[in-house]
């Protein structure tokens, strides 16, 4: 191995004393490949196994915590105890390859397709549709429903513990329900759950508290991370200044990591701060001394990873990169970094072990992956 890449292979200890064997984790990516009843498929398990042997931690695709939170066709569930055996199958398969298994837990809110939720009723913080064509106006959740969803995040964490996962990641990114409560675009409430920025933080922080409580009941150290998107394009929407308030609040919650959702690790703020540094650098500087930050976004090569580390973040997540080349980390370790594949090879589905629904989404979505 080229010595300049040795930092990628250093161990890292999370705040709860769980040790990661290296600095690269698999990012959560929807794969559309579960059964209709919410159980995982063999194809899905094989897809994770193919990618789990190099990285230190695998963060799964998101799983819904309530029936009305299902956001994708072919999404696996964790909203009821009957699904624990399914979850256990996935956790064991990942851990058998030497990676920590982290379950990403979420509620889709207003982004749920009506056909996937009970009675076709889509819900959110307020009755405001997402921008763009075809999005329904959601029904505003009442106080009891909000409390029930918060409890559901805790119950799903309990199931993750029972299924043998090493942790959970709270999905507060990409425009789904937790972000919808924080966003001034989707949250127009004037009660305890909305209005001021502080009140818009109430739901995310309540979810964190409930999840932490469930994690504390585990008989072993259990990872709790939180993923967030730094900004929104909508007006009104989350600005970089809002995000700094969010991470200040999250940094005090005793989390094991914060995970940024970015398409490109070099991207700079859109609005809210006057700063020429990348979002990743700004967030690392703001939060990194309190909680480990995971960087992500178009880290295609070994050199990209080293550059991303120069922001100061201790961990990096790879998503599309591990679909295009499941041996990304192994190749660097073997001194074959020049052989890393950085575009999707359309005749290699079987070799790459990508389930059919995900493969169809990749090859039919121009611009999502290099090479398509």
Catalytically active residues, by annotation:
176
User: What is the rounded CA–CA span in Å between residue 241 and residue 57?
Assistant: 30
Answer yes or no: are the C-beta atoms of 52 and 97 closer than 8 Å: yes
User: What is the rounded CA–CA span in Å between residue 297 and residue 308?
Assistant: 9
Query: Which phi and psi (to 5°) does residue 276 adopt?
Result: -90, -5
Answer yes or no: are the C-beta atoms of 265 and 308 closer than 8 Å: yes
**Residue partners of 371: CB distance under 8 A and separation at least 6:** 324, 343, 344, 345, 346
The two three-digit tokens of residue 134, written as one number: 């075809």
User: What is the rounded CA–CA span in Å between residue 84 and residue 78?
Assistant: 7
140: three-class secondary structure by DSSP: strand
Q: What is the DSSP track for 168-211?
A: EEEEE-TTSHHHHHH-TTT----STTSSSHHHHTHHHHHHHHHH
133: three-class secondary structure by DSSP: coil
Q: What is the DSSP track for 278-344?
A: -HHHHHHHHHTTTS-EEEES---SHHHHHHHHTTT-SEEEESHHHHH-TTHHHHHHTT-GGG---S-
Nearest to 68 by CA among 30, 128, 119: 119
């Amino acid at each position: 191995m080229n010595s300049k890449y040795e930092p990628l292979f250093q161990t890292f200890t999370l705040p709860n004393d769980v040790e990661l064997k290296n600095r690269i984790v698999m990012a959560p990516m929807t794969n559309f490949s579960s059964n209709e009843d919410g159980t995982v498929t063999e194809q899905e398990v094989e897809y994770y196994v193919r990618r789990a042997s190099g990285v230190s931690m695998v963060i799964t695709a998101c799983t819904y915590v309530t029936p009305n939170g299902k956001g994708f066709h072919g999404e696996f569930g964790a909203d009821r105890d009957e699904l624990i055996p399914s979850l256990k199958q996935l956790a064991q398969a990942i851990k058998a390859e030497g990676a920590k298994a982290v379950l990403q837990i979420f509620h889709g809110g207003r982004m749920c397709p009506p056909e996937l939720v009970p009675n076709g009723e889509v819900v959110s913080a307020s009755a405001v549709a997402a921008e763009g064509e075809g999005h329904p106006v959601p029904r505003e959740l009442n106080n009891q429903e909000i409390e029930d969803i918060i409890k559901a995040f805790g119950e799903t964490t309990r199931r993750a513990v029972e299924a043998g996962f090493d942790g959970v990641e709270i999905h507060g990114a990409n425009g789904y329900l937790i972000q919808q409560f924080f966003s001034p675009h989707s949250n127009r409430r004037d009660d305890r759950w909305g209005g001021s920025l502080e009140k818009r933080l109430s739901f995310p922080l309540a979810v964190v508290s409930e999840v932490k409580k469930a994690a504390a009941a585990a008989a072993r150290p259990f990872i709790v991370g939180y993923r967030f998107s730094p900004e929104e394009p909508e007006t009104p929407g989350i600005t970089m200044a809002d995000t700094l308030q969010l991470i200040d609040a999250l940094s005090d919650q005793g989390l094991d990591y914060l995970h940024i959702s970015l398409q490109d690790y070099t991207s700079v703020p859109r609005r809210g701060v006057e700063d020429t540094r990348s979002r990743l650098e700004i967030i690392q500087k703001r939060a990194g001394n309190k909680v480990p930050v995971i960087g992500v976004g178009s880290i295609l090569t070994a050199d990209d990873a080293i550059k991303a580390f120069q922001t100061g973040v201790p961990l990096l997540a790879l998503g599309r990169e591990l679909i295009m080349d499941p041996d990304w980390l192994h190749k660097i370790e073997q001194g074959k970094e020049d052989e890393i594949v950085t575009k999707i090879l359309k005749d290699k589905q079987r070799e790459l072990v990508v389930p059919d629904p995900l493969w169809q989404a990749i090859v039919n979505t121009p611009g999502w992956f290099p090479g398509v």
